[in-house]
Amino acid sequence: MAPKKILVLQHVAYEILGTLDPLLKANRFRIRYVNFGREPDSKPEVDSYSALVVLGGPMNVDQITSYPFLKTEIDVICRALELKIPILGICLGAQLLAKALGARVRRNRVKEIGWYEINLTPEGKSDPLLSHFKENEKLFQWHSDTFEIPEGATRLAYSKTCDNQAFVYDNRAYGFQFHLESDEPMILRWLHVTQHKEELEDAKEYVFPDQIRRITHSNARSQCKLAKKIFQEFINKTINDE
């Protein structure tokens, strides 16, 4: 049997699959990255792929004039939705998924940078992916914008400072605002990214990098265990949907 293929849309070099990468490889997926930061004119087609993953990035979904590839990505997402291909959108990827489904993406009332407590809705508690959550989980975040829940989608999770943290559409397209894919080395690298340093400076009244560093070691271990369970469920869904 031919190996399954997964298409990954990437925006910047430091936003990667993280903890999802070894699981995909262990399940014998062939991974094709399209890095729009390096290939902004790329026109990927999703038709021959088993799943689509759209990663995070520093831009927002309405910056199409500055980043025309965002329109390309929305078209790819729409095609995947049409073909009923499983989709996982992370942070910016979740916002692009929401926009492709006709929902509004807007500025969140605060920037969430660091570790935040995530709670599930009743629907989230029964969802096959997020049912692995405890009553609440501390997960890593780095975003300024947020999405509204698309029409026909189900809201799965929220936090005190962001009403919409996760949704699912058609039981196969998931949007996660949080960075479940991030591990400790990845998070520590993000604190040194030039553009991130500028964001940290803007939010210095309530975001403290030293505090993030201190708590990341213990929190990241717990997050990685949870990520393995949730991402494996997504992989199982992809395999079983074929």
Going from the C-alpha of 134 to that of each of 24, 65, 113, 177, the distances in angstroms are: 24, 42, 22, 18
Report whether 77 contacts 97 (CB < 8 A).
Answer: yes
Q: Return the active site residues.
A: 91, 179, 181
Three-state DSSP at 117 gives: strand
C-alpha–C-alpha distance, residues 76 and 96, integer Å: 10
Going edge to edge, which strands form the sheet with 173-176? 29-35, 4-10, 51-54, 87-90, 173-176, 162-169, 153-159, 105-120, 136-147
- Residue 222: name the closest of 191, 186, 183 by CA: 183
Query: Please, what is the Cα angle at 138 between 132 and 139, to 5 degrees?
Result: 85
- Residue 30: name the closest of 57, 50, 10 by CA: 50
Residue 162 CB coordination number (10 Å): 22
